[in-house]
Structure 1
Amino acid sequence: MKKQILVGTDGSAVAGIAADWAAERARDLGLQLNFVHAVPELWAFPEKALHESAIAQAKDLLKSEASRAAVRVPSLDVVTTLCSGEPAESMRTLSVDTEMVVVGTDRRPDSHGEGFGSVSFQIAVISQCAVVVVPAASTQESTGVVVGVDGSSDSDLAVECAANEAQRMRQGLTLVHAGGEAGPPSPPGSSVHGDPPEPELDGRTLLSASVAGLSGRYPGLVVHEILDHQHPPDEALLDASAHARLLVIGCKGRGGARVLVGSVAQHVLLNVQCPTLITRPPVNPAPAPDAS
């Protein structure tokens, strides 16, 4: 089966922007684009006729979006999927063995509160593949790909993904390491034997390790580094990506296996500044049964 990019559509302007972003990536990588829309189950409607009307409207929407994408990118392989149930759970089910899920953010830039009811947030948290959340269009010029670095295996995956995307988009790559909670670095000569390394030295080491080898794998890629000790990681990433073409972060960072998404990713997802890609490591297949 051909690898797909799933894109959620609900007829909104931001969903259209997300679809355009997904179409360009699918074209560049030779992937199939699958437009997905979910209609609540019959029990959620007071009358059967309303459910039938919702299904008919969903089919029209999917047909319209698929036609628009085919006109925009004639070479694109486009399919549609109509689901029954909740959008986030439908995307989670479809995301198995899928290249990527792309959705528009359903939170306005000036919204307040935690926003855990956000459908885009739910999809990013529970999907089983990489997810891109695309915000509303901005009038400001955007450039470059930004990626967060914290020394975790999630961070390593995010850097590799970001370098791939930067090369595909012909953009520069900026690696960001931040840790405002660590405070400013100690004055030169103040540390003694046995003290922990200065924050700046730790950050520089992490950044250097992340950059190492990129030039060999990605010839011509321009790489920049930002070491920020004034802000916590989430604020530093949002600041660095305010005018970026793409932000890439790992789903957990140092959060460990017990969390679905780390605290930094949570904050970023609820305050998306630019298209934001949440990477996920490949799911390990279940072990084969013992034949003995």
Structure 2
Amino acid sequence: MTGRVLVNVVDSAEASGRALRFAIDQASGRGLGLHIIHVIDESIVKSRKTELLQAATQRGEQVLAEATATARTAAPTLEVTSSIEQGDPMRVFTELSNDYELLVVGSDWQQHGSPSRRAVEALRIAAASDSPVAVIPDMDLTGRSGIVVGVDGSENSAHALQFAAAEAARTGQPLIAVHAWTLPVVPGAEFIDSASFYDDLSRDAADTLENALEEVRAEYPKLTVQPVCFDGDATLALATEAERGTLVVVGSHGRSGVARLMLGSVSHGLLARLAAPTVIVR
């Protein structure tokens, strides 16, 4: 890690957009540097049309200049660098991901629209990156509060919990820790005291969540923590809580090879229907 946040700006609108502002806040708030990139699509490069490439490069330089000015105005002491990259955005981000503590990408997903290229690219980048990836929709968060995090007792969710707790403490927001569980299919269930069985599972779920939160409570004693145990689907639980939060954080399974191009069902579900800015932590 080089102690920097990486953000991609596509056009002039993004040079002052929510993804860039999120990246600026993360970099300045966490004492990191900020690197801004603009990616020239590989189709332009492969066209071998010099004038087209020159025009795309000039446009990219303008976009980067506007984004850099935005960053320096918002955070005068922030170390800001920029570069123009060429190729497929997912490949570019994947190759760069090891060198940054956080990657930030914008998404133009709309609740009632069909999936766009940018929304799909954001999902692919989150799946392939080695570093945490923040996917930022163009969404008004006025009136919202809370950092939502998924907790399931795994190592990956522990990393997500640490990220979320640090962000909640930094921003002075409550930490909303969500643990979802469901009743298993049990052969012979008709012979079981269903009420007692449900109560046992409910207590086990609450214990799992509280055990996971012990370290966070000790590290951040002043942090407001809101545990949420949800009887049902984890994606639905997190999406529901995310509608009142400013950020949702989940862990990824961290597979290798071809399997890495697929996120877990929860991560994929949240990115496919963004309810809030979402961070995928490995």
- TM-score (structure 1 length as normaliser): 0.84
Match for residue 128 of structure 1?
130
Distance 1:69 1:54 in 2: 22
Distance 1:117 1:18 in 2: 13
Match for residue 236 of structure 1?
237
- TM-score (structure 2 length as normaliser): 0.87
Distance 1:106 1:77 in 2: 28
Distance 2:115 2:139 in 1: 22
Match for residue 34 of structure 2?
33
Match for residue 272 of structure 1?
274
Within the alignment, does 1:164 sit opposite 2:166 as a pair?
A: yes
CA distances 1:30-51 after superposition (whole Å, capped 9, x unpaired) = 1111111111245543732112
Distance 2:161 2:224 in 1: 14
Within the alignment, does 1:190 sit opposite 2:204 as a pair?
A: no
Counterpart secondary structure, 2:123: helix
CA gap of 1:141–1:68, structure 2 versus 1, over 3 A, is same
Mapping for residues 278-289 of structure 1, pairs under 5 Å: 278-280=280-282
Counterpart secondary structure, 1:104: strand
Structure 1 regions of 5+ residues with no counterpart? 281-292
Distance 2:246 2:128 in 1: 24
Distance 2:28 2:141 in 1: 25
Match for residue 11 of structure 1?
11
Distance 1:117 1:274 in 2: 14
Counterpart secondary structure, 1:118: helix
Give the aligned length: 272
Match for residue 21 of structure 1?
22
From 72, 75, 78, the counterpart of 2:74: 72
From 206, 213, 221, the counterpart of 2:215: 213
Is the 1:14–1:134 Cα contact (8 Å) retained in structure 2?
no
Letter in 1 for 2:57: I
Counterpart secondary structure, 1:213: helix
Match for residue 87 of structure 2?
85
CA gap of 1:115–1:55, structure 2 versus 1, over 3 A, is closer
Identity %: 29
CA gap of 1:104–1:192, structure 2 versus 1, over 3 A, is closer
Structure 2 regions of 5+ residues with no counterpart? none
Match for residue 289 of structure 1?
none
Which segment is superposed worse, 29-38 or 7-16? 7-16
In proportion to residue count, which structure has more helix? 2
Match for residue 222 of structure 1?
224
Is the 2:179–2:209 Cα contact (8 Å) retained in structure 1?
yes
Is the 1:180–1:233 Cα contact (8 Å) retained in structure 2?
no
Is the 1:7–1:102 Cα contact (8 Å) retained in structure 2?
yes
Deviation at 1:210, TM superposition (A): 1.0
Q: CA RMSD in A?
A: 2.8
Counterpart secondary structure, 1:74: coil
Counterpart secondary structure, 2:66: helix
Counterpart secondary structure, 1:79: strand
CA gap of 1:266–1:226, structure 2 versus 1, over 3 A, is same
Counterpart secondary structure, 2:99: coil
Letter in 1 for 2:82: T
CA distances 1:263-290 after superposition (whole Å, capped 9, x unpaired) = 110010111111111111xxxxxxxxxx
